[in-house]
Amino acid sequence: MRESSRPILVTGVAGFIGAAVAERLLRRGQEVVGVDNFNPYYSPALKRARLERLEALPRADRLFQCHRHSLEDAEAMADLFRNSAPEAVVHLAAQPGVRYSIENPAAYIQSNLVGFGHVLEGCRHQAVQHLVYASSSSVYGGNRLLPFHESQPVNHPVSLYAATKKANELMAHTYSHLYGLPATGLRFFTVYGPWGRPDMAPMLFARAILTGDSIRVFNHGQMRRDFTYIDDIVEGVLRCLDQPATPDPDFDAEQPNPATASAPHRLFNIGNAQPVPLMHFIELLEQHLGRRAIKQFEPMQPGDVQETAADTAALEAWVNFQPKTQLDEGLARFAAWVQAHPQFLA
């Protein structure tokens, strides 16, 4: 646990992962400054509910503040960094969604590229001690060598969303190299759990199962995913936050490892390391919800990949991270939350 009189800035604080990270930070007594734009990509009511949970935590009145800004607003972000003077930044805000990036590419360019540039500038000018930022398993794109390892090249993204996440990794490395900014990029693998995003498969499936609608099962069910429970993700994020990136003393510029650098920049997979068939995921969810799904099998969608699997050995070596939550246990908790919060299924 880090000790500092300066706050931690969490971007996307009303989002699924952002709210969960902020909660853990507040519970361990750290001051958190949050920022979110509450955009309507999915229900702002769910985002407000997550924020209300944070505001109800003990000592939140003096440890937590939230600002409503968009990352693309250069002046607002510069003011936020200047006024809050954060010790570290956990950057989780982004325009999410693989399929939506095909329909609305401009949103990704503005939020994920322009917005991330403003975050990097804020870190540089306010001498931030560590930037932890969200990347994605989607950067592996067309790679078929499994499990995915950070040393593999990621030169074949199959969606604009994935391309922006790879660009974030390159941008962060550049700032680490030029300005000595310690930065750690985390490639998240299919995060699920209570308070999750309604545009992702777990919530879409749960809603359809409970309402009797059909679920769309892409690639005719021939998919595998490395589903990772939210609590495990948060644990990994905080462990990385507490151990700032350092240059790799063994970095070889003639045979460069994409995951490390001579600059203080590191990349890690963060996943469950136990990929499961999509149909097995659906079966477990049916069991915990007590209802059968009506399945509508469809072809593979543009921008999707057939399988993901995380090699997390590097993260385990760096911060002793190991996921703890088995899929059956995580889905039981998720199903219980869904049934207790039907208002977020509308």
CB count within 10 Å of CB 68 equals 11
Does 161 participate in catalysis according to the annotation?
A: yes
Nearest to 30 by CA among 194, 222, 270, 241: 241
- Report which DSSP code applies to 148: B
Residue in 133, 161, 192, 229 annotated catalytic: 161
320 vs 55, 239, 249, 315, 340, CA distance in Å? 31, 8, 20, 7, 34
Non-local (6+) Cβ contacts of 319 within 8 A are 236, 239, 240, 242, 243
The 3-state secondary structure of 4-70 reads CCCCEEEECCCCHHHHHHHHHHHHCCCCEEEEECCCCCCCHHHHHHHHHHHHCCCCHHHHEEEEECC
Decide: 215 and 222 in contact? Cβ < 8 Å: no
The neighbouring-strand residues paired with 217 are 297
Active-site residue set: 161
